[in-house]
Amino acid sequence: MDQPSLPPPCKSGDRVAIIAPAGPFQEKWLFEGCERLRSWGLEPIYEKELFSTWGYLAGSDAHRLESLHKAFRDDNVKAILCARGGYGTFRLLDGLDLPLLQQHAKRFLGFSDITMLHQVFAQQCGFIGFHSPMAASQHFIEGSPTSVERVKQALFADDLATIFSPIQGDVLQQGPRATGRLVGGNLSLLAASVGTPWQVDTQDAILFVEEVAEPPYRIDRMWQQLRYAGLLKPLRGIVFGDFGPLRDRYTTYTEEEFWLNRIGMPEGIPVLHKMPFGHIRDNATLPVGASVTIDAETATLHAA
């Protein structure tokens, strides 16, 4: 497939559909998220069924899938914002109407459990999605001003350089400046995709990874699964978000010790860490499928 395209931007007065393809959410956060969208001149819309619950899911698989398809199908909807992550999106993948999604490509925002939708959209539907804070998440309501502004740009800006201004972290491993497709997301979902039709394509890519509340041994196991599946060797670079404290009942690890000495990185490529994205207040919006450049000299990731 050719380079994924950037769907059309929103303008003042446009409708933004809020859907819940994964888990239930707190209504308080949703209402506050809608107020923020209205303050930007947008009209948030959602169905009353958005508040459905089915155990740990925000409604049945059929309901959540139809809500997603309906939001894409509706030509009056110009962007789609997920309510929150949790779990459940993976259950929808084999029911996705790929021709419909490709024909009605729109700005689509979400992260965490939304990871696999972004991969499908970029790899099989040919359009860029945005790994970003969500409508009913604390990251959107109480996120840093920079993080919130990036969500606004992902909705309104018409070029990637504006949407994705450079983000900076620390150098974990030196390597040459490299450009490639941005792929990745939540480590649990990336590992779960191995061996499925939706396995992440890492050929000549820049991989970004985030995770939250996982002990070091589980992060280790998921990383080794990606390595054994051959998904790390084709990479041109890696960037890690904020994983939180890396500690178990035996040891507290520095990130450098954990990633380099315990886990191991592919040789010869640049690796950055402590980047501002993931389950944190300063959660930068990332364009999944876009061409980006990683630069270990300046410890930055930016649009190519």
Return the residue matching tokens 């500690």.
247
- The residues that are catalytic are 112, 210, 279
Sign (positive or negative) of CA dihedral 36, 106, 84, 300: negative
- 69-73 long-range contacts (CB < 8 A, ≥24 apart) are 69/97, 69/100, 69/101, 71/17, 71/19, 71/106, 72/100, 72/101, 72/104, 72/106, 73/100, 73/104
Closest by CA to 200, choosing from 90, 72, 71, is 90
Tokens coding 10: 């929103």
Strand partners, 235: none
**In this structure, are strands 167-168 and 291-295 parallel, antiparallel, or unpaired?**
unpaired
Q: What is the residue type of 280?
A: I
Pairwise CA distance, residues 279 & 256, whole Å: 20
How is residue 122 annotated by DSSP? I
Per DSSP, the residues of 29-70 read HHHHHHHHHHHTT-EEE--GGGG--BTTBSS-HHHHHHHHHH
Pairwise CA distance, residues 298 & 67, whole Å: 43
Return the residue matching tokens 């099989």.
124
